[in-house]
Amino acid sequence: MSTIAFIGLGNMGSPMAQNLLAAGFNVQVFDVDESATAQLVPFGAIAAGSLQEVVKGAETVITMLPAGKHVRSVYLGDLHGRVGLINLVEDKTFMIDSSTVDPDSARLVANEAANKGLEFVDAPVSGGVAGAQAATLTFIVGGTDAAFLRAKQVLSHLGRNVFHAGHAGDGQMAKICNNLMLGILMSGTCEALNLGIEHGLDPKVLSDIMLQSSGRNWALELYNPCPGVMPNAPASHHYSPGFMSKLMLKDLGLGVETALQTQTPVPMGTLARNLYAFHNANGNEALDFSSMFEFYQRQSKSSQ
């Protein structure tokens, strides 16, 4: 089985690397947090102490990084003299970035990789930590047709769905559109549930009614934001993420930024971003994004 270098072992990256190990790949891992790297050694991963070390002998590189600046630095190098992956990997190494970043960063890396004769795809994911753990993620790939087919051979071990969104950067754009809608959807679901509760309705009964009515949506089906309604949802576990509120704010910000580039109206997305910014500023950024329900609860109590 081929060797994969996996860089970025946070809440998403670590279970993804474990699933690659379970699928029989040789996996070399690196993270700036050495403890995150060490935690995967008992599962069979080979720990590396640097980017140069982790890509040695790897046929495929997968990165899962926090933001565009990290992707640009890791792939292209930085002003501090650190050399980027495109100058470290061996010839014909295939590179997959599963971070969620701005499309321009993905396009920049793809162009620079192509100039070096290397293939790169942006392949952001949907499905959260639970999806990463269960290998049920959805991957949204931007790149050439040939690169997509090559990426699918690896990503199919990590998820149920692998879509080809289009050219380089298009995977990121599709992911941004999805999470813009998700942020709006979650905010609206929290708002509606809170309104019903304030008027004496049982949240479980109200959720069941909406699930069988025109208000039915993903949050009600799989991720109910009201504590106690859905036992396995983060809301019933003190909003342990899941998908952190600060990451939702980041993605909503990307949606607003890309909208500005084309003067596309996104009033609902802008409002959702502002709500998450206020929610996070009150110490909730590390909670699951469904904790927006508590924002509405606090607002109701403060007005009484």
* Catalytic site positions: 175
- How many CB atoms sit inside 10 A of residue 81's CB? 6
DSSP E strand stretches across 13-86: 26-30, 46-47, 60-63
CA–CA separation, 236 and 218 (whole Å): 17
Residue 188 CB-density burial (10 A; 0-12 exposed, 13-18 middle, 19+ buried): middle
Secondary structure of 100-126 in HEC code, one letter for each residue: CCCHHHHHHHHHHHHHCCCEEEECCEE
DSSP string, 214-228: TT--HHHHH---STT
26-30 and 46-47 strand pairing? parallel
- How many CB atoms sit inside 10 A of residue 166's CB? 15
Q: Which two structure tokens, joined as six digits, stand for 27?
A: 């996996």
137-142 and 125-126 strand pairing? antiparallel
